[in-house]
Structure 1
Amino acid sequence: MKQLRSILAACILGSATMAFMTSCQGEKQVIIYSNADDEAIAAMGQALDKAGYKDKYMFTTFSTSELGGKVIAEGKNIEADMLTLSSYYLDSAQSANKMFLPLTFAMEPLKPVNPCFGPITGQEGAIFINTKVIEDRGIAVPKSLKDLSKPEYKGLISIPNIKSSSTAWLMVQALVNAYGEEETRQILKAMIDNAGPHLENSGSAPLKKLRAGEVAIAFGLRQQAVADKKKGLPIDYVDPTEGTFSLMEAVAIPDKGDNTNPETMKMAEIMIREGRKELIKTYPVPLFHGEQAVSDAKSPHQKTFPQPLTVELLKKHQSLMDN
C-alpha cells in the first residue's frame, strides 16, 4: 500500500507539473508538416518568428512522396495543423478527402490556384553542365533532354529517378510533351543506361556529383545551377529545347472542425506574404502579381503540361522508367 501511495503521489505530481508547464508555455505548438528544402523552412520560420510566433510552431519534414502518401492516406486525421507540399499531392488529397479549408486572406497569384492552397515556391528544371569536365572530355554541350540519350554521353550524366524524386518529373513532363509516351520510354531507357550508377533517388544528388566532377552533365532544379554559376563554380545551365516545366509547392490547412487551430490561417498568410520576400531569393520564379525576379531567374522557354498534374498522372509517368 505504501508503494501504491508513492506511485499515486508521483502521478499526481507529474500531472500537476505538466499542467503548470502547459499554463506557462501557453497554447500547444502548431505542427507544420513540410517537404520543403532547408532554405525554404528557414525563410518561412524567419517570417513567423518576426510576426511573434517564435517557439509557437514546429516543422516536421518528409520527402515529397512520403508526405504526399501520408496526406492522402490519413486525410483529416493527419496530426499536422498545417502543410506545405507539392500542389499535385494537395490537389489529389483534396479530391479524395475534401480535407482542406479555403484560405480566407486575399492573394493575387499569377496563375489560377485552388482556393485552399497558397503558393510558396515555384521550381523549374534544367540541364546542368560542369564546364571544366565538358572541356576536358572534349564533348559537346547538350541542347535538349533527348541529347542525353546519345551514346557519346555514356557514363557522363546523372539524372534523378522519377520513382523517388519530384525533380525528375520536370524532366519527364518535358519529354512526354515533346515526343509522346512511347518515344519517351525509349529515350528514358537510353538515358538510364548512360547514367548507370549515377541514376539518383534524390533531386539534389545529380548536382552534387556534377560539382565533384564525377559527371559532366546532370538534370536538376534550375535555380541551383543559377546560384552555383553566380558563386563562380564551373557550373552552367541549359534550358532544353523541349521547354521548361515547373512544379509549385503550397501551404494548406487541414479542416479539423472545432479542433482547427485559429492561428493557422494567420500563420499561412504570414508564410506567404512575408516569407515570399526571402523565398524568392532562393526560388526565383515569380508566383504573385508584383513580384520581380532577375533576368536569369526563370527560363524563357516556359511551358505548361496540357493535363492537370495529379498523383495518378505521376504514377503513369513513373511507369515510363520501367524497363
Structure 2
Amino acid sequence: MNLKKLLALGLSLTMATALLAGCGSTNDTSADAGSAGESGDTSAEQVVIYSNADEEAITAMENALDSNGYEGQYVFQTFGTSELGGRLLVEGTNLEADMVTMSTFYLQSAQDQNDMFLPLTFDVNTLEEVPDYTAPITSQEGAIIVNTEMLAENNLPMPTCLKDLADPAYAGFVAVTDVQSSSTAWLLMQALVSEYGEEEAQNILHDIYVNAGDHVESSGSAPLQLCEAGEVAVGFGLRHQAVAAKNDGLPIDYVDPTEGNFSLTESVAVLDKGDATNPLAMEMAQCIIENGRAELQQNYPNPLYEGESSDNANKSAYPKTFSEPLTFELYEHHIEISEAAKP
C-alpha cells in the first residue's frame, strides 16, 4: 500500500476517533487519575501513556509502576486498536503520548512511516527477535467461545474448528468481530487463510457472517459478552478472556480450533520527541517489562522472554504462526477479504 493511501486511512481513523471521543471512546486510568481530570489534562512531569491494552494488562502495568516508585507520575489513556493506530500513523511524534503500548504490527508501520520511536536503552531478551524500539508486553491468542447451557438447550454440537461456525445449524447463534474495526478478528482471519487459502477462507467467512447476522461486532470482547449474556451460543474472541470467564464459574467454555490458535503481540515503545522527550518514559517502559511480566503472564500465558515458561493448563492446543510477517499491509489485505465476504 502506498504512503498516500496509508495516510488517507490513518486520517479517516483519526477523524473517527475525534468524533467518538465525546461519546466515551477513550478512557483515562492512572495511579492518580484525579489529578489528571476527565479532560486528560496532565502535569508536565506525568508520563502520558496511550494504550490499546485490555483492562487486565493495564492493571498489571499499573501495579508494576506503582510498586516501583512511579505512582502518580503517569496517566494511561486507552483507545481501540484502529483508533490508536490512526493517531500513530497520522500524528507521528506530534502525538501527545510519551509512551505507547500497542499491537506490534501497528508500531512497525508507524515507525516505518514516521520514524517516531527511540531505540530502547535496556536489554530486551526475547525468545524471538524484535525491532530495537519495541518490547512485547503480551501475546494474545484467539479461540472459539461457547455458552455450554445454550448449546445444550438448543441441541447444538460442540464446535471443533472455525469452519464449523459456517454450518447452518448455528444460524442466529454466532457472534464474531469485524476485522475492519478490531484486530481480534485478524486472529480468525489468519487461521482461515492459513488453513484453507484466501478463496475458500472468504467463502467460509461469508457463511459465518450469515450465521452471525447482526452480531458481526466492532469490539473484540463483544462475542464473549454476548455468550456470557446468553444472547448467542458460540463466538470467537480472545482465549485468555474465555479462560477467565470459565474460571469465574460462568457457563462458558473455550475450544482451540484445529485451524490453529494464532496470536498477536502488543509491545511498548517510547516516542522520540527530541529535547521534549520525557526521560521517565524510558524508565517506565523498562519497569513494565522487568516487573510486570509475572502478573501479565497470569492472563497472557505465552512465554515471550528468555527464562519464561507457561503453565501447561493455560497452553493452547494448536499454537501457530502465520506464514508471512504480520504487517499493516497484510492486515489491510485481510480486511479486503473480509469485506468481500460480507453478505
Regarding TM over 0.5, the answer is: yes
Task: Summarize the Cα distance change of 1:26–1:193 in structure 2 as closer, same or farther, 3 Å threshold.
Answer: closer
Give runs of aligned pairs for residues 205-216 of structure 1, distance below 5 A: 205-216=222-233
The one-letter code matched in structure 1 to 2:311 is V
Q: Distance in 2 between matches of 1:83 and 1:68?
A: 11
Q: In the superposition, relative to structure 1, how do residues 33 and 26 fare at CA in structure 2: closer, same or farther (>3 Å)?
A: closer
**Which whole-Å CA distance do the structure 2 matches of 1:306 and 1:239 have between them?**
19
How far residue 147 of structure 1 moved from its aligned partner, in angstroms, is 1.1
Shift of 1:255: 1.1
Q: What's the secondary structure of 1:52's corresponding residue? A: coil
Q: Distance in 1 between matches of 2:156 and 2:83?
A: 38
Q: Which residue does 1:296 correspond to in 2?
A: 313
**CA–CA separation in structure 2 for the residues paired with 1:283 and 1:26:** 33
The 5 Å alignment of 1:185-224 reads: 185-224=202-241
5 Å matches for 1:305-316?
A: 305-316=322-333
The residue type paired with residue 61 of structure 1 is: T
* Mapped contact 1:226–1:296 kept (Cα < 8 A): no
SS class of match (2:67): helix
Q: Paired residue for 1:164?
A: 181
Deviations 1:249-299 (A, max 9, x none): 000011111221111111101011111121111222221122232213231
Shift of residue 232 of structure 1?
2.1
Superposition pairs for residues 29-48 of structure 1, below 5 Å? 29-48=46-65
Letter in 2 for 1:138: N
2:254 partner letter:
Y
Report the residue type matching 1:256 in the other structure.
Answer: K
Match among 244, 256, 274 for residue 227 of structure 1 = 244
**2:283 match:** 266
User: Counterpart of 1:249 in 2: which secondary structure?
Assistant: strand
Distance (whole Å) between structure 1 residues aligned to residue 257 and residue 235 of structure 2 = 12
Structure 2 counterpart SS, 1:51? coil
**Partner letter of residue 114 of structure 2?**
N
Q: Residues of 1 paired with 2:210 and 2:67: CA distance?
A: 49
Residues 1:134 and 2:151 aligned together: yes
Unaligned ranges ≥5, structure 1: 1-24
State the partner residue of 2:138. Answer: 121
1:263 partner amino acid: L
Q: Which residue of 2 aligns with 1:69?
A: 86
Secondary structure of 1:83's counterpart equals strand
1:249 aligns with 2:281: no
Q: Could you tell me whether the CA contact under 8 Å between 1:43 and 1:278 is conserved in 2?
A: yes
- CA–CA distance in structure 2, aligned partners of residues 231 and 259 of structure 1: 45
Matched, 1:100 2:129: no
Separation in structure 2 between the aligned mates of residue 280 and residue 287 of structure 1, nearest angstrom: 9
Q: 2:169 aligns with which of 117, 129, 152?
A: 152
Counterpart of 1:64, as a letter, is: T
Q: Return the alpha-carbon distance in structure 2 between the equivalents of residues 127 and 147 of structure 1.
A: 10
Unpaired segments of 5 or more residues in structure 2?
Answer: 1-41
1:22 is matched with: none
Q: What amino acid is the match of 2:64?
A: A
Q: Percent identity?
A: 55
Contact 1:200/1:206 (8 A) holds in 2: yes
Structure 1 pair 30–146 and aligned structure 2 pair: CA distance change class (3 A): same
- Aligned partners of 2:44 and 2:178: how far apart in 1? 42
1:300 Cα offset (Å): 2.7
Secondary structure at the counterpart of residue 122 of structure 1: strand
- Per the TM alignment, residue 117 of structure 1 is displaced from its structure 2 partner at its CA by 0.2
CA-to-aligned-CA distance 1:114-172 (integer Å, 9 cap, x gap):
11101111100000111111111112111110111111111111111111111100000
Deviates more, 1:171-180 or 1:47-56: 47-56
Q: Deviations over 1:62-110 (max 9, x none)?
A: 1100101100111122121100000010010111112111111112212
- In 2, the alpha carbon distance for the partners of 1:314 and 1:165 equals 11
The Cα of 1:26 is off from its aligned counterpart by 8.6
CA contact (8 A) 1:124 1:298 kept: no
- Alpha-carbon distance in structure 2 between the residues aligned to 1:275 and 1:83: 15
SS in 2 for 1:66: helix
| Partner Cα distance (2:231, 2:275) in 1 | 54
In the TM superposition, what whole-angstrom CA distance separates every residue of 1:18-49 from its partner, at most 9, and x where no partner exists? xxxxxxx9952111111111221121112111
Between the aligned partners of 1:228 and 1:261, the Cα distance in structure 2 is 39
Aligned equivalents of 2:299 and 2:43: distance in 1? 34
Aligned length: 300
Aligned to 2:108: 91
**1:55 paired to 2:84:** no
Contact 1:30 1:56 in 2 (8 A): yes
